[in-house]
């Protein structure tokens, strides 16, 4: 049999849910507005949430892909963002592998060997 909650608990839960919904709206609306502006053509940042003309020009320039305009001119991207992202992925992968190797060998040393200062080093970790 289902338990019935008192009205005060239901009212508190409803108020908490409404407050959380308000916080979500405050966080989500600017994010949706920025995403909407990124799909507009040109440099127009009007208050409309849905763009009048849909364009991927800003995204292609941000990702480093050349863009051909309607008049036939080709816009070259100012920054190679995808190349920068790939370099960051390579550095993160190499550092992760090196840290993993160092951590496993030091963990083995802590587990199997006895040496002076071992307890202090373990507490410091």
SS3 assignment for the chain: CCCCCCHHHHHHHHHHHHHHHHHHHHHHHHHHHHHHHHCECCCCCCCCCCCCCECCHHHHHHHCCCEECCCCCEECCCCCHHHHHHHHHHHHHHHHHHHHHHHHHHHHHHHHCCCCCHHHHHHHC
Residues 63 and 85 reside in one and the same domain: no
Domain-embedded: residue 91: yes
Residues 73 and 99 reside in one and the same domain: no
Total count of domains within the chain = 2
Q: Is the pLDDT of residue 26 over 90?
A: yes
Residues 32 and 89 reside in one and the same domain: no
Residues 57 and 27 reside in one and the same domain: yes
Distance CA 63, CA 79 (A): 8
Residues 66 and 85 reside in one and the same domain: no
Domain-embedded: residue 2: no
The more confident residue out of 46 and 7 is 7
pLDDT at 2: 58
Q: Is the pLDDT of residue 9 over 90?
A: no
Domain that holds residue 116: 80-125
Domain-embedded: residue 1: no
Residues 43 and 68 reside in one and the same domain: yes
Domain-embedded: residue 3: no
Write out pLDDT tens, residues 85-109. 999 999 999 999 999 999 999 899 8
Q: Is the pLDDT of residue 20 over 60?
A: yes
Which of 4-18, 46-60, 84-98 shows the lowest mean pLDDT across its residues?
A: 46-60
Residues 66 and 48 reside in one and the same domain: yes
Q: How many CB atoms are closer than 10 A to CB 40?
A: 19
pLDDT at 28: 95
């Amino acid at each position: 049999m289902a338990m019935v909650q008192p009205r005060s608990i239901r009212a508190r839960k409803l108020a908490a849910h409404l407050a959380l919904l308000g916080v979500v709206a405050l966080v989500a609306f600017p994010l949706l507005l920025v995403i909407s502006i990124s799909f507009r053509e040109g440099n127009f940042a009007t208050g409309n949430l849905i763009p009048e003309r849909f364009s991927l020009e800003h995204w292609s320039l941000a990702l480093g892909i050349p863009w051909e305009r309607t008049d036939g001119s080709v816009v070259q991207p100012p920054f190679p963002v995808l190349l920068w992202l790939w370099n960051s992925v390579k550095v993160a992968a190499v550092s992760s592998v090196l840290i993993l190797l160092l951590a496993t060998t030091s963990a083995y040393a802590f587990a199997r060997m006895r040496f002076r200062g071992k307890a202090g080093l373990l507490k410091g970790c």
